[in-house]
Amino acid sequence: MWVVFKREMRQYFTSPIAYLVAFAVLFLTGITFTSDLRARSGLAPADGSVIQGFFAFVMIFLAPLLTMRLLAEETREGTIELLLTLPVQDGAVVFGKFLGAWAYYTLLLLATLVYPILLIALGNPDIGAMIAGTIGLWLYGGSILSVGLLFSALTENQIVAGFLSMAALFLLWLADSIGILFAGISVEAAEFVRTLSLRGHLSTSFLLGIFRPEDAVFYIGLTAVMLLITIQIVGARRWRT
């Protein structure tokens, strides 16, 4: 797993996609930060959750770019067969690739901490809320990356993997709104769909400075389920190999 992790980290820092994602994150969050400060000037105190919420939404579309190649590229180039014939467990391959993506995501998240630091220098924001929001975003990142990794394992086409994971993540982001559509059919179904909301477990707790164990468990559980399914897919491919 450590070898796979180091290999993925090395590829991230030699891949133009990774640098483009970093540029897009910092550029878009920078525009949002300055626009929010300008709008609040003299009217309301600065709120760090605005940047954190925007970062979470943007990563719905950028995280798939970080995961689409992880297993799809291996399958397309035929290196997955070589990897699976080595004395390495399926879980080590999957976890190594996932941890590599999560580590890069963590670096992106740390880069956005420049905005809370600026807010602290400019005013007196709620530091506790910023810390809770950062923890929530870190757990949230693990869950969306695990979804992207699953779709990367399902196809050898990186573009298809990226598109499918974006679509799935966008639906999960809007799950609380989609659940309203089921309210007229079944209240239980509506509540179940709403519990799958990526946005709901973030915006109503972590971004407000509230740490709810059930929200942390949701992100951890979603990550675990996605990784376990991915391991099963890779294992099935090993038997075919």
Per-domain residue ranges of the chain:
2-240
Round to whole Å and give the CA distance between 145 and 66.
8
Structure tokens at 79: 């290196």
Rg of the chain in Å (alpha carbons): 19
Nearest Cα residue to 173 out of 194, 142, 146, 150: 194
Compute the half-sphere exposure of residue 55: CA atoms within 13 Å on the CB side of its CA. 31
d(CA 73, CA 201): 32
In order along its 241 residues, the chain shows pLDDT tens digits of 888 889 889 988 888 888 999 999 999 999 988 888 887 776 766 677 888 999 999 999 999 999 998 888 777 776 666 666 666 787 888 999 999 999 999 999 999 988 888 888 777 777 888 899 999 999 999 999 999 999 999 988 899 999 999 999 999 998 888 777 776 677 777 788 888 889 989 988 898 888 889 999 999 999 999 999 999 988 876 666 5
Total residues belonging to the chain: 241
Q: Give the pLDDT confidence score for residue 200 in this predicted structure.
A: 87
Structure-block tokens of residue 146: 């695990």
What's residue 80's pLDDT?
66
Q: In the chain, at which residue ranges do the beta strands (DSSP E only) sit?
A: none
- Determine the pLDDT at residue 91: 84
**Could you tell me where the DSSP H helices lie in 41-89?**
49-67, 72-77, 79-85
pLDDT for 127 equals: 82
